[in-house]
Amino acid sequence: METTALTEMRAAHRVLAAFDYPPGRVERGYAGRTLHVDVSANRIETRPVTDYMKECFTGGKGFDLYLMWHSIPGPIAWDDPRNGLYFSAGPLGGTAYFSGSGKCLVTGISPTTGSVMDSNVGGHFGPLLKFAGFDALEVRGKASEFVLVVIDGDEHRVTIETAPYEALNSYDVASQLHHMYARTPDELQSISVVSAGEGAVHTLIGCLNVSFYDWKRREPRLKQAGRGGLGTVLMDKKIKAIVAKSSRNRPQWTLTVEAP
């Protein structure tokens, strides 16, 4: 990855909205906050996680559905700006003691069925979202141009940024954004990118692709949320990618970079 090209890409970003939030910590599986991003209004806000949510809507799917029911006013089309995408890993997300704890649940109104669809996906987005300070994410609205949503748990800042030059294809944009937002080689594994790819622009069955950095192969790999065309919803919103970053709780191995 050429540093100059990445520098030029990032220099072309315009920050449309920025939100600074206080650091927190995960207690008993919960960060205690949900994150809400509207790319139409360029609005970012957080809301508290209540005991009612924990007791009655436990788990990633439960949190997603709770947020949907409180956000979507009634029957709407999948491409309505009020349709959101909802991400949550649940209280066991990111817990190294349980197999599959890297999974994340994604929900939204499906282009293929017109009803609520959920899909689970691997990769590191769910745990990194929690380590960055949020139990769930809601993204809604439609941007007027391609944007990124960047959740930086190290800087405790969330931004909506224009992304005019980043690739649409998921492998390319994942590689670009892992390298763009990593300050050191070790931080490459502290980043996850959600994207959909160019195919989702032309079909109703687009997947969401969620990255994790393979430190052995030294490149991002992708997992898919493939049910219901939720990647098509992401592209319809003109969100080129969602980035989550947190250096906290990352694996303890180090990435050795060979000299050229």
The continuous run of DSSP H or E covering 150 comes out as strand 147-152
Residue 72 has what pLDDT? 92
pTM: 0.93
Strands 239-245 and 147-152: parallel
Residue 215 has what pLDDT? 86
Q: What is Dmax (Cα atoms) for the chain?
A: 58
Residue 248 has what pLDDT? 75
CA 6 to CA 4: how far, in whole Å? 5
Domain ranges of the chain: 3-245
Residue 170 has what pLDDT? 96
Residue 216 has what pLDDT? 87
Q: Could you tell me which residues come within 8 angstroms of residue 65 by beta carbon, excluding any fewer than 6 positions away?
A: 57, 86, 107, 116, 118
137, 19 Cβ separation under 8 angstroms: no
Residue 90 has what pLDDT? 87
Give per-residue pLDDT as tens, 19-62.
999 998 888 889 999 999 999 999 999 999 999 999 999 999 99
Assign a CATH topology to domain 3-245. Aldehyde Ferredoxin Oxidoreductase;  A, domain 1 (3.60.9)
Q: Could you tell me which residues come within 8 angstroms of residue 141 by beta carbon, excluding any fewer than 6 positions away?
A: 37, 38, 39, 40, 41, 81, 237
Q: For the chain, which ranges sit under pLDDT 50?
A: 253-255, 260
Residue 42 has what pLDDT? 98
CA 61 to CA 135: how far, in whole Å? 12
